[in-house]
Amino acid sequence: MWKKVVIFLLIWDSAYSAKLISRLDRESILDAEKKHRTGGNAYLTEREAQANDIVTRLRSKILLEGIANSTGFAPAMHFFQAKPLIESSPIFRMLKAMPKGSVLHLHNTAAVSSKWVIKNLTYRSEAKLCEVNGTVFFTVRQSKFCDSEPQKSITKLRAQNASAEAFDLWLESFINLKLRDPELMHTDVNTVWNDFQQMFDASKDLLMYKPFFEDYHRQMLREFYDDNVQYIELRASLSKVYDANGKDYNEFEIVKIISDIVDSFKKDHPDFFGVKIIYAKHRSIDNETVESFLEKFIALNQEFPDLVVGFDLVGQEDINNPLILFTDQLRKFEKTAPYFFHAGETNGYGSEADLNLVDAVLLNSRRIGHGYSLYKHPVLWKMVKQKGIALEICPLSNQVLRLVTDLRNHPAVFYVSESVPIVIAPDDPGFWDSAAVGFDFYYALMSLAPHSAGIGFLKQIVWDSVKYSTLTEPERTQYAELLQPKWESFLDFIIANKVLNY
Amino acid sequence: MWKKVVIFLLIWDSAYSAKLISRLDRESILDAEKKHRTGGNAYLTEREAQANDIVTRLRSKILLEGIANSTGFAPAMHFFQAKPLIESSPIFRMLKAMPKGSVLHLHNTAAVSSKWVIKNLTYRSEAKLCEVNGTVFFTVRQSKFCDSEPQKSITKLRAQNASAEAFDLWLESFINLKLRDPELMHTDVNTVWNDFQQMFDASKDLLMYKPFFEDYHRQMLREFYDDNVQYIELRASLSKVYDANGKDYNEFEIVKIISDIVDSFKKDHPDFFGVKIIYAKHRSIDNETVESFLEKFIALNQEFPDLVVGFDLVGQEDINNPLILFTDQLRKFEKTAPYFFHAGETNGYGSEADLNLVDAVLLNSRRIGHGYSLYKHPVLWKMVKQKGIALEICPLSNQVLRLVTDLRNHPAVFYVSESVPIVIAPDDPGFWDSAAVGFDFYYALMSLAPHSAGIGFLKQIVWDSVKYSTLTEPERTQYAELLQPKWESFLDFIIANKVLNY
């Protein structure tokens, strides 16, 4: 019986008389909707209100121009075409200056610009490659991906090539979807996912080489720091790292390596708050393997309680194992392994990937990765809101991986309208010619938010990235103290009217 | 104060304890969501349940195949590419056999297949054309679209051409977006709308020629009758029709012409229920003109109370006048002119086109044309549901006119999940190589509805097209009596397992 009552309340649509409805007016409806949505009810200080006037005026101008002339209107376009337009836009300049707070959905081995990987790692003497059926795999050792194909020195190959630039672009095409997919070649989700997964394999052996692994993660911190990100919760599989002497580093050692890199970076950049790790394994495994990973998580968490803070299962949901397959194992560990499940990253409606959302919520997932299809579930989205489960929204990822074309159709628009908690994240920016999270914020502000959105919306998004992080209360206080002066500088930047100089 | 109470109730999210929520289980959530959505709570007779088993098994097979191999999965594809796949699908064959009930959103001058227009009207000796700046205008008289350009006999031009087929295709490209837009040329909304509006102008003078006007409307009835449509509410501007003697026919005379055609068609097809007219004028006008049109509507409605039943304003909302501009005039007539406004046919969020939805609801629009952006309005969509305002969903139109690419991202998915009332309509099928409404139903079933949808969903959609029509109670009874045996035959068709032969 109690179940029926709860469900009834969850879908109850509001009891009121038709007569009352008919007396509502325009202003009261619009005002109620404004207050109801993300950031619509945010308290603005005097200076925030001042900055808000500037931002909303600017946005309004851009959005009205985009209605009159929709050609070249970046918020409606695919990132691969819109990137130069966005880069030169005053909104993007403003967002560059904004402290973004936390990035809560990022896969470590796809975090760094493909260009940096090519221009740095492949220029080092250890870097080799093999070609298997037209696909390149980078490595520095005898790689399992090479079968019997020869592994050639990349430096030598480059030297033999007439144009180093052309050669590098060819190399980059194996770890950059934009180069691989002139946008219109991939017409469906599975095809693009195929190339996407391939990129993890192409770079894996290169990145797992300890000196490269370290440099890569240092560069990751640099790119996100430069984009004004203060804190990262990183999905990492902690696959074995190796060095030139053939030594393998296990999960504990890898966490220590990352931890040392972060500490060193923090020493040089005291205004960077840090990194925590969500242990994330591919979902194409069996029950026993899941259980062994969960046990590994517990051990890692005991060794590094402040550092390894959560567990997730990753990989294309549509065609891989659904959460329900692992219910017994996941239930067993739910008190000790905080979950941060990918769920509902699909255009399906009632498919297994879509129903991962139900299981993620029932397994008390602390946040949900993507939650793209959640809006189709009237009971579930209200539960998510009520329980305060934040959705990790990755606009570019969903566009590039072919869930949606025009991001104004992204379901996050609905989540904004209903104040379902969201954070903005880049997922795998290195693989699609993005950098850190700035471009995702551009689309969040310009495509997902209503015409009237401004500082209130940004404030809520940024501070929710603090609220929905896994930080402890004392850490959170410290973090907020670091973020607040940056937020004030951001307001200064806007009020000094730098934003409008375009 | 009452306003606040109502608004609070409209956005109130459900009060219940977190403890109760945590005890909900998978089945109760899924069951509640199923019952909550369009058709999920429909009563199924024994034979309907039998047919439902067949349909859901078939759909499930197709949807699972589409997940495993997403290449060539029609429900995710653009209609211009998917059409042959759809035509050969068992689902489409089944939907062909389904009585569709009412088509409640259709513009008369874009209702008939472009191919029929070319192969019939332009083959008649009166048909002429002129070319102005690379664009063709069809006519039979001295047309205002031709400026000083010569008007040439189409028959003669065709005879001079090496290939009649190539010539006809060229002609058709001026009234068919598929031929004009190899899908990927139009990258934005305004560009495609430009070509789309152009098509109305290209064919206008041809279709307003009385003998052609009559044949065209007869053909319209034939195409919809052949697609198993029983009743149509037609948006028509009732622009002047003319004959060979130079006589102009006014709105009253045109209604009479249409009425006579319908009566004659019904005599030959007693199982066709009829046509009513919604007087629809372009929104790019001033207040005085709106008032004159409203007065004209009142006069037409008095003359033909059973035939001219509503008023609408049409044309691209993004760049034309919003409803709020005409509030005084529209308020003045709201008791006597039932409104059926186009509103929210936009990707905007808080733009004037989007806010047309607020005004449409406050002006007591009986239905809403498109309502594409309604899901962004938490107060408004609940009002729409509460007031029983049906949304006229036109899947193909929204795709072809570039609001959305993958129709699984169409907001109607949300309306289905929340049982916001919808009807399925084709808008302007003649202009995009569709025919009547069958293809729209294909996408409704395969892209907008959940995996478990079957007969319950179809039953609700079909019978809601009766419920949300403007028919009077006695007419509705008669209409239902006509529809019911057709529905039974449809069940026969499925149960005889014809559907599964593929």
User: pLDDT tens, position by position, for chain B (502 residues)?
Assistant: 667 777 776 766 554 455 556 668 999 999 999 999 999 999 999 999 999 999 999 999 999 999 999 999 999 999 999 999 999 999 999 999 999 999 999 999 999 999 999 999 999 999 999 999 989 999 999 989 998 899 999 999 999 999 999 999 999 999 999 988 765 567 789 999 999 999 999 999 999 999 999 999 999 999 999 999 999 999 999 999 999 999 999 999 999 999 999 999 999 999 999 999 999 999 999 999 999 999 999 999 999 999 999 999 999 999 999 999 999 999 999 999 999 999 999 999 999 999 999 999 999 999 999 999 999 999 999 999 999 999 999 999 999 999 999 999 999 999 999 999 999 999 999 999 999 999 999 999 999 999 999 999 999 999 999 999 999 999 999 999 999 999 999 999 999 976 765 4
pLDDT in tens, B20-31: 566 689 999 999
* pLDDT value at residue A10: 72
Measured distance CA(B242)–CA(B229) in Å, rounded = 30
Percent of chain A with pLDDT over 90: 90
* pLDDT value at residue B15: 45
Please indicate whether, in this complex, the C-beta atoms of A9 and B15 are within 8 angstroms of each other.
yes
Is B27 near chain A, with CB under 8 Å?
Answer: no
Please indicate whether, in this complex, the C-beta atoms of B188 and A452 are within 8 angstroms of each other.
no
Q: Nearest CA to A20 among B236, B410, B10? A: B10
Active site residue B105: no
* pLDDT value at residue B10: 72
Residue B335, number of CB atoms within 10 A of its CB: 8
Alpha carbon distances (Å) from A29 to A56, B3, B93, B260, B338: 20, 9, 44, 45, 23
Where do the DSSP E strands lie in A114-228?
128-132, 135-139, 152-153
> Residue B233, SS3?
strand
Global confidence as pTM: 0.96
Task: Give me the CATH topology for the region B97-113+210-488.
Answer: TIM Barrel (3.20.20)
Q: Average per-residue pLDDT in chain A?
A: 94
Q: Are B397 and B386 spatial neighbours (Cβ–Cβ below 8 Å)?
A: no
Q: Are B378 and B358 spatial neighbours (Cβ–Cβ below 8 Å)?
A: no
Both tokens of B222, joined, read 């034939």
A121 confidence band (pLDDT: 50, 70, 90): very high
Residue A256, number of CB atoms within 10 A of its CB: 15
* pLDDT value at residue A474: 96
Contacts with A, B 189-228, CB within 8 Å: 189-191
Measured distance CA(A379)–CA(A375) in Å, rounded = 10
Residue A407, number of CB atoms within 10 A of its CB: 26
The helix (H) or strand (E) run that includes residue A331 is helix A327-332
Q: Taking CB atoms and an 8 Å cutoff, what residues of chain B touch A67?
A: 318-319, 348, 351, 353
* pLDDT value at residue B147: 86
- B397: exposed, middle or buried (C-beta count within 10 Å: 0-12, 13-18, 19+)? buried
Q: Pick A28's closest partner by Cβ from B3, B408, B450.
A: B3
Please indicate whether, in this complex, the C-beta atoms of B191 and A70 are within 8 angstroms of each other.
yes
Percent of chain A with pLDDT over 70: 95
Both tokens of A288, joined, read 């026993």
DSSP character string of B397-424: HHHHTTS-SSGGGSTHHHHHHHT--EEE
By DSSP bridging, strand B152-153 and strand B128-132 are: antiparallel
pLDDT in tens, A162-178: 999 999 999 999 999 99
Q: Nearest CA to A413 among A453, A473, A354? A: A453
Measured distance CA(B25)–CA(B22) in Å, rounded = 8
Is A1 near chain B, with CB under 8 Å?
Answer: no
pLDDT in tens, A201-259: 999 999 999 999 999 999 999 999 999 999 999 999 999 999 999 999 999 999 999 99
Q: Are B356 and B323 spatial neighbours (Cβ–Cβ below 8 Å)?
A: yes
Q: Taking CB atoms and an 8 Å cutoff, what residues of chain B touch A318?
A: 67, 70
Task: Give me the mean pLDDT over the A28-57 stretch.
Answer: 96
A19 confidence band (pLDDT: 50, 70, 90): low
A-B C-beta contacts closer than 8 Å: 233
Please indicate whether, in this complex, the C-beta atoms of A21 and B386 are within 8 angstroms of each other.
yes
Measured distance CA(A259)–CA(B333) in Å, rounded = 71
DSSP A474: H
Is A82 near chain B, with CB under 8 Å?
Answer: no
Which among B4, B5, B10, B81 is the top mutation candidate for probing chain A, defined by the most A β-carbons within 10 Å of its own β-carbon?
B10
* pLDDT value at residue B7: 74
pLDDT in tens, A411-441: 999 999 999 999 999 999 999 999 999 999 9
Active site residue A370: yes
Contacts with B, A 298-317, CB within 8 Å: none
Both tokens of B76, joined, read 């995710």
Q: Taking CB atoms and an 8 Å cutoff, what residues of chain A touch B409?
A: 347, 403-404, 409
Is B184 near chain A, with CB under 8 Å?
Answer: yes
From the candidates A223, A233, A345, A352, which is the catalytic residue?
Answer: A345
Residues 6+ positions from B61 with CB-CB distance below 8 Å? none
Task: Give me the mean pLDDT over the A327-354 stretch.
Answer: 97
Measured distance CA(B32)–CA(B38) in Å, rounded = 12
A6: pLDDT strictly greater than 50 = yes
From the candidates A107, A186, A342, A370, which is the catalytic residue?
Answer: A370
* pLDDT value at residue A450: 97
Q: Nearest CA to A129 among A102, A95, A99, A155? A: A155
Q: Are B273 and B231 spatial neighbours (Cβ–Cβ below 8 Å)?
A: yes
Measured distance CA(B247)–CA(B253) in Å, rounded = 12
Measured distance CA(A325)–CA(B152) in Å, rounded = 70
Q: Are B455 and B463 spatial neighbours (Cβ–Cβ below 8 Å)?
A: no
A356: pLDDT strictly greater than 70 = yes
Contacts with B, A 233-262, CB within 8 Å: none
DSSP character string of B89-107: SHHHHHHHTS--EEEEEEE
* pLDDT value at residue A89: 95
Where do the DSSP E strands lie in A399-478?
422-424
Q: Taking CB atoms and an 8 Å cutoff, what residues of chain A touch B355?
A: 30
Q: Quick one: closest CA in A to B383, which residue? A: A21
* pLDDT value at residue B502: 47
A268: pLDDT strictly greater than 90 = yes
* pLDDT value at residue B187: 75
* pLDDT value at residue A187: 75
Give the distance from residue B426's alpha carbon to the nearest chain A alpha carbon, in angstroms: 21
Q: Which residues of A198-230 are buried (b: 16+ CB within 10 A; e: fewer)?
A: bbbbbbbbbbbbbebbbbbbebbbbbbbebbbb
Give the distance from residue A68's alpha carbon to the nearest chain B alpha carbon, in angstroms: 6
Residue A51, number of CB atoms within 10 A of its CB: 24
> Residue B53, SS3?
helix
* pLDDT value at residue A502: 47
At A347, give phi and psi (nearest 5°).
Answer: -95, 0
Is B449 near chain A, with CB under 8 Å?
Answer: yes
Distance of CA A207 to the CA centre of its chain: 20
Q: Where in chain A is the domain with CATH 3.20.20.140?
A: 97-113+210-488
- A189: exposed, middle or buried (C-beta count within 10 Å: 0-12, 13-18, 19+)? buried
Where do the DSSP E strands lie in B56-185?
101-107, 128-132, 135-139, 152-153
Distance of CA B185 to the CA centre of its chain: 24
Measured distance CA(B321)–CA(B313) in Å, rounded = 10
In total, chain A counts a number of residues equal to 502
Q: Which residues of B443-476 are buried (b: 16+ CB within 10 A; e: fewer)?
A: bbbbbbbbbbbbbbbbbbbbbbbbbbbbbeeebe
Is ipTM beyond 0.90?
yes
Q: Pick B417's closest partner by Cβ from A189, A324, A378.
A: A378
A18: pLDDT strictly greater than 60 = no
